[in-house]
Amino acid sequence: MRILLVSTNRNTLPMPVMPIGACIVAQAAERSGHTVRLLDLMFSRDATAEVESAVQGFRPDLVGVSVRNIDNNDMRNTVFFLEGLREIVKVLRAGSGAPILLGGAALGVMPEEILRLADVSGCVIGDGETIFPLLADRISRGGNFRDLPGVAYLDNGAFRRNPFAVLGGSAACPAPDYHRWLNTAAYRSHMATVPIRTKTGCPFQCVYCTYPGIEGNTYRLKDPGGVADAVARFAATGLRDIEIVDSVFNAPLEHAMNVCAALARVGHRARLQCLELNPLSLDDALLAEMERAGFAGMGITLESASDPVLRGLKKGFTTREVHHAAEAVRRHRIPCAWIFLLGGPGETEETVRETLRFAEKHIRPRDVAFFNTGIRIYPGTELESIARRQGVLSKAPGDMLSPVFYVSPEVDGPWMERELKKSMNRHMNFLNMDSLGMSFLPTIHRIGHRLGFRPPLWRHTRSIRRCLRMAGMDV
Ligand code: B12
């Protein structure tokens, strides 16, 4: 069969991300004997025209559309990304009678709402590399695919969804040949990192989170040696800035240690990053292994440094682990981004002050603190129930595709923003969502790349903020 895959993400903020999911699915479909074309719309000037020309030139028998982002998770400057999806599907429909199936992280978050928005045959929730080839096989033989695991569809207006299933999840690290599928030079010039996965699945129960819905809640580990070989292979082809995109890298800890050990053994030339570390299993032993493995940057997703909020968010750790993690980080060299989410259940003026005090006192000046305020509420999460119980959410689940945010009713939102801004004025290594949404950020990345800077650019936050302030900008 001729299969056209379209990666619809065009968001270049905070930097373009390579569509790993679409590439993995493309590679799996090709391996199953199909002729595959992947159209990546990230840098396209006229998406509609490119889709039109691809569908007419390639004449697909099946179309897969990868959808990553719904919105930018930013309460104050919200951007909704799915307007363009309807238009793309319309163009595909006009040019071809082939079935159109959606997949990607967004479908794990709100499948029913997205299917109602776009007029397609159905979608796949979960591991596309196993389900999509089966689906293509069924379609090529003229059969029905609606009974396959992970498939969801609208049946005369009623939403139907088969259980999320992992079909023979392989331990092989899915490392697509990015040069084959993407314009890698364009991504590199924007300081994009190359994504790689060391496992799938997230068993944590944070009240706001969608990850278990996207990946399932049990771990499926990739072979550490295979991960290390893939990293070495990428680096040898010039893709040296590699980011681990696991939901949480250091859980289970033993697997993270094994991956680090394999990376140290293989002797690659990559600079590694990972922005999702949990303070629960973050100690000297792990950090030493990460240093040996070649990490050039890491992020710790704390969300808060106050116990009532950590409890309210069900983070599964306390300020004890937060402080231990801060001490351990200080004893090592890896640049660190501390990631906070203010306004969760249990947040009060006192807890905001406690978190800011932690950041001001314990974060090294050469590291960064990144603050988001307000939490995106997704249907089906515990946060949705909390918000309804507290009377701060009245929208029906079906209306929540267009973003809604939670701020604890015990804290005044504008006050919280002002306190954060004051702290940012004192600490040039602190950032908020405004900084990630700056329209000229892609230009900064391109200039940085030309000047020889390499990711992560946030290592230079202090200098960049100072320069922009000297130029009269309130960043
Ligand atoms: C790592 C990560 C990041 C990293 C990415 C680093 C990098 N170099 O890639 C960083 C920190 C930069 C980042 C940034 C952002 N992210 Co992010 N990110 C993630 C995370 C944790 C993993 C994504 C990933 O790479 N997964 C691994 C790949 C292999 O999985 P996948 O893409 O889902 O693909 C699989 C399936 O979906 C399926 N599939 C994919 N395509 C297709 C197509 C078809 C046809 C089929 C059948 C199947 C299929 O098969 C694939 C293989 O198994 C997810 C959460 C999660 N657990 O998924 C959030 C997530 C994708 N991010 C999200 C968001 C919002 C953002 C930001 C907008 C945040 C912000 N304001 O800055 C930006 C956007 C960046 C951009 N330019 O688009 C949201 C998107 C949903 C939403 N709410 O809109 C998610 C889901 C988190 C959440 N809040 O729920 N992110």
Q: Which residue has the tokens 């929208």?
A: 395
What is the reported pLDDT for 166?
63
Pair of tokens at residue 206: 């944070």
Supply the residue whose CA is at minimum distance from atom 13 of ligand 1: 17
Dig out the tokens for 401 from the structure. Answer: 């595709």
Best probe residue, ligand 1, of 73, 190, 377 (max atoms within 8 Å of C-beta): 73
Q: How far is the CA of 292 from the centre of ligand 1 (A)?
A: 28
* Residue 275 vs residues 262, 296, 300, 363: alpha-carbon distances, Å: 20, 11, 6, 16
Closest approach atom of ligand 1 to CA 211? 57
User: For residues 450 and 445, what is the distance between their CA atoms, to the nearest angstrom?
Assistant: 9
**Ligand 1 pocket mutation pick from 191, 245, 273 by most atoms within 8 angstroms of CB:** 245
The contacts of residue 174 (CB under 8 Å, 6+ apart) are 24, 27, 28, 129, 197, 222
Model pTM above 0.85: yes
Helices 413-426 and 349-362 cross at an angle (nearest 10°) of 20
14 lines ligand 1 (CB under 6 A): yes
Inter-axis angle of helices 349-362 and 319-330, nearest 10: 20
169 lines ligand 1 (CB under 6 A): no
pLDDT at residue 474 in the model: 85
Q: What separation in Å is there between the alpha carbon of 198 and the centre of ligand 1?
A: 15
Residues 217 and 209: beta-carbon distance below 8 Å: no
Q: Radius of gyration (Cα) for the chain, nearest Å?
A: 22
399 Cβ contact partners less than 8 Å away, ≥ 6 residues apart = none
Instruction: Report d(CA 349, CA 355) in Å as an integer.
Output: 10
- Is the shortest distance between the CB of 106 and ligand 1 below 6 Å? yes
Return the pLDDT at 72.
96
Ligand 1 atom closest to Cα of residue 108: 37
Q: What share of the chain is helix, strand, coil (3-state, %, to 5)?
A: 45, 15, 40
- Closest ligand 1 atom to residue 102 Cα is 45
CA of 2 to the centre of ligand 1 (A): 26
DSSP-assigned beta bridge partners for residue 406: 375
Check if 434 has its Cβ closer than 6 Å to any atom of ligand 1. Answer: no
CA of 301 to the centre of ligand 1 (A): 16
Residue nearest to atom 40 of ligand 1 (CA): 104
CA of 17 to the centre of ligand 1 (A): 9
Residue with tokens 């363009």: 84
Task: Please report the pLDDT score of residue 438 as a whole number.
Answer: 86
Among candidate residues 99, 94, 125, 96, the one with its CA nearest the CA of residue 111 = 125
What is the residue type of 315?
Answer: K
11-23 burial, b for 16+ CB within 10 Å, e for fewer? bbebbbbbbbbbb
Distance separating alpha carbons of residues 371 and 383, to the nearest angstrom: 19
Mutation probe of ligand 1 site: the residue of 151, 191, 214 with most atoms within 8 A of C-beta: 214
Residue-level pLDDT at 187: 98
| Cα separation, 20 vs 84, whole angstroms | 20
Distances (CA, A) of 114 to 77, 85, 104, 291: 22, 9, 11, 42
CB distance 342 to ligand 1 below 6 Å = no
Task: Give residue 168's pLDDT.
Answer: 58
Q: How close is the Cα of 69 to the center of ligand 1, in Å?
A: 7
Ligand 1 atom, smallest distance to 81 CA: 84
Q: What is the pLDDT of residue 435?
A: 85
Q: Which atom of ligand 1 is nearest to the CA of 70?
A: 84
Furthest C-alpha separation in the chain: 65
Tokens representing residue 395 in the block: 């929208």
Quote the ligand 1 centre to 178 CA distance (angstroms). Answer: 17
Alpha helices in 190-318 (DSSP H): 211-215, 224-236, 253-266, 284-293, 307-312
Atom from ligand 1 closest to the CA of residue 200? 27
Look at ligand 1, atom 23, and give the residue with the nearest C-alpha.
245
Measured from the CB, is residue 379 less than 6 Å from ligand 1?
no
Q: Which of 124, 129, 214 is nearest to 167 (CA)?
A: 129
d(CA 161, CA 138): 18
| Cβ neighbours of 185 (radius 10 Å) | 9
CB 305 within 8 A of CB 276: no
Report DSSP letters for 290-319, one per residue.
HHHHTEEEEEEEEE-SSHHHHHHTT-S--H
- Going by C-alpha positions, the residue among 36, 40, 80 that lies closest to residue 62 is 36
Q: Which atom of ligand 1 is nearest to the CA of 106?
A: 81
- CB of residue 11 inside a 6 A radius of ligand 1: yes
The secondary structure of 392-443 as a DSSP string is ---S-GGG-SS--EE--TTS-HHHHHHHHHHHHHH-TTEEEHHHHT-TTHHH
Return per-residue pLDDT of the chain as tens, 475 residues: 999 999 999 999 999 999 999 999 999 999 999 999 999 999 999 999 999 999 999 999 999 999 999 999 999 999 999 999 999 999 999 999 999 999 999 999 999 999 999 989 999 999 999 999 999 999 999 989 999 999 999 999 999 999 876 655 689 999 999 999 999 999 999 999 999 999 999 999 999 999 988 998 899 999 999 999 999 999 999 999 999 999 999 999 999 999 999 999 998 999 999 999 999 999 999 999 999 999 999 999 999 999 999 999 999 999 999 999 999 999 999 999 999 999 999 999 999 999 999 999 999 999 999 999 999 999 999 999 999 999 999 999 999 999 999 999 999 999 999 999 999 999 999 999 998 888 889 899 999 999 999 999 999 999 999 999 998 888 8
Between the CA of residue 335 and those of 96, 198, 370, 457, what are the distances in Å? Answer: 49, 21, 14, 11
